[in-house]
Amino acid sequence: MKEDSTHARVRIHVKPRILLTIVIGILGLVIAMVPENTTQPYKLTADQLLAEIQSGSEMVSPDALADWLVNEDPSIQLIDVRTPKEYENYHLDAALNIPLAEILSPEWSDYLDQGVKMNILYSNGTTTAHEAWMILRQMGYENNYVLQGGLNYWTETILNPTAPKVTSPDDEFARYDFRKAASQKFGGGSIQTTQVPPPKKKPPIKRRAKKRAPEGGC
């Protein structure tokens, strides 16, 4: 499986200072990408956006996502921001493909700017999904989050979990048991490169009442 960048596979192990350097490197590009005339009320400075990223409140762990999916939480919407080819080769069940290159398309605004479902953005690693999240945050869109580590970390922790050491605490064994059960539900083991083609129809949109201007925060 390809990576978003050479940093993506080890992102979850990268020291905070290095991670922030990487993030700062793309903040300027992201801010520049967002149309000024549509984001004037929401557009953040690089420092404001960086502060939100440092808090980590936009990240969703594989374990949390697995729990929601196992329990068939109807409020979750998976958003695959990779290319259509990557999506066709493999994607999480029921994920909607909105490539990063199309993230600003009006076609997708009702799916990305809504207050009903919790959108979980994912890519192979974390980089591309994080770029998509930053663009959407600049647009003032809410309820968008990023899957920590992307599909690579999902495969490592949920589909192919590593058994804890015999001396590990009980909570480690409980986490492992949950991951093993989730792995069976999601077809764990080696990832297959073929999958049933996704449905042609888009999921229905549930529109919310007129949105109030955000008061800050993530």
Per-residue confidence band for 121, with pLDDT thresholds at 50, 70 and 90: very high
The region, left, alpha or beta by phi > 0 then psi within -120 to 50, assigned to residue 169 is: beta
Domains defined along the chain, listed by start: 8-149 (3.40.250.10), 155-185 (no CATH)
Report whether 41 contacts 140 (CB < 8 A): yes
Q: What pLDDT score does 140 carry?
A: 86
pTM: 0.71
Q: What pLDDT score does 216 carry?
A: 43
Per-residue confidence band for 104, with pLDDT thresholds at 50, 70 and 90: very high
> Who has greater pLDDT, 69 or 212?
69
CA 115 to chain centre: 17
Q: Which of 7-11, 34-38, 52-56, 131-135 has the lowest mean pLDDT?
A: 7-11
Spatial distance between the Cα atoms of 29 and 82, rounded to a whole number of angstroms? 18
Spatial distance between the Cα atoms of 193 and 151, rounded to a whole number of angstroms? 13
Residue in this structure with the two tokens 């919790």, named with its chain if needed: 118
CA 73 to chain centre: 16
Average pLDDT over residues 151-171: 95
Spatial distance between the Cα atoms of 204 and 111, rounded to a whole number of angstroms? 9
Q: What pLDDT score does 182 carry?
A: 95
Q: What pLDDT score does 189 carry?
A: 60
DSSP letter assigned to residue 209 = S
Q: What is the pLDDT of residues 46-74, one digit of tens each?
A: 787 788 888 888 999 999 999 999 999 99
Spatial distance between the Cα atoms of 11 and 6, rounded to a whole number of angstroms? 9
Q: What pLDDT score does 198 carry?
A: 45
Per-residue confidence band for 203, with pLDDT thresholds at 50, 70 and 90: low
> Who has greater pLDDT, 193 or 179?
179
